[in-house]
Structures are given as structure tokens and as C-alpha cells.
Amino acid sequence: MTVKAGEASANHSWRGWLKFIAIGLSGYVVLTLGVVAMVEVLGWEERLSYGIMIMTVMMGNFYANRRFVYPHSNRSKASYQAVRFVTIAMIFRVLEFYGFSLLIGPLAVNYVIALTLTSALGYLIKYFVFSIWVFR
């Protein structure tokens, strides 16, 4: 695979950042709609619904980020990147889950607002971690 000029630094450009945000927002919409559907329509518990949807979104995010935000990373084996991606994503998801649980539990914040807050903060930090360690 040939790397075009500017592609190698796509993860450090405004264009790369905007793609990352678009993928994040898409993931957020899928996550939120999925959690709301599971809670409101199926009557499932919020934490279970969140766990199921976060795994679904994580798989989609890996593919989309590798393909569109970090195209130069295709030179590395996908399996190695997937392990690093899942490791980092799971660490963040655990932290986000605890933040989500704290917000909906003791702090009594609406679960959709809690989901938005934890997702946004985690996604912002993950952009830099993914750039440095996962898709280098």
C-alpha cells in the first residue's frame, strides 16, 4: 500500500480529527439509540444495555478508525492493532462505566446525560492515545 502525501499525519491533522469526531458521533448515536431502545422498549437494565451496545460500537469504531482516520496504519497487522485498540478501549470503557454508574447512581443524573458526558470525555482523550499507541 502506498502512502499519499499528508496521509501519514492524518491522525494529527484537522481532517483526521474531524473524521475521528464524525466516527465518534456516529458511535454515540448508535450507542444512545441502542441503550434507549433496550431500556425503554425491551425493559432491560441500563448497565446491561450499556455493556452490550458499547461492545458493538467498539467493533465498528476500530474498523472505521483504521480505515478512515488512520489509513497509514494499514501497514501494521490488524491483529496487533486490534489488541492494542481493545486494551485501550476497554480501560477507557471501564472508567466510563464507573463514571456512568456514579452519575446515574449516587448523583442521580439522567442516564442519557450521563452517557453523553462519559462518552464525550473518554472519546476526546482516546483520540490522542490511539494516535500515539494504537494506530502509529
**The residue to which cell 458493538 is assigned:** 56
- Higher-pLDDT residue of 132, 113: 113
As a whole number, the mean pLDDT across the chain is: 84
The pLDDT of 68-88, averaged and rounded, is: 83
Residue 7 is placed in which grid cell? 496521509
- pLDDT band at residue 6 under the 50/70/90 scheme: very low
Contact 121, 93 (CB under 8 A): no
The Cβ of residue 53 has, within 10 Å, a number of other Cβ atoms equal to 21
Residue 85 is placed in which grid cell? 485498540
Contact 28, 36 (CB under 8 A): no
Cβ neighbours of residue 131 under 8 Å, at least 6 residues apart?
11, 12, 70
End-to-end CA distance of the chain: 16
Give residue-wise pLDDT tens across range 29-53: 999 999 999 999 999 999 899 889 9
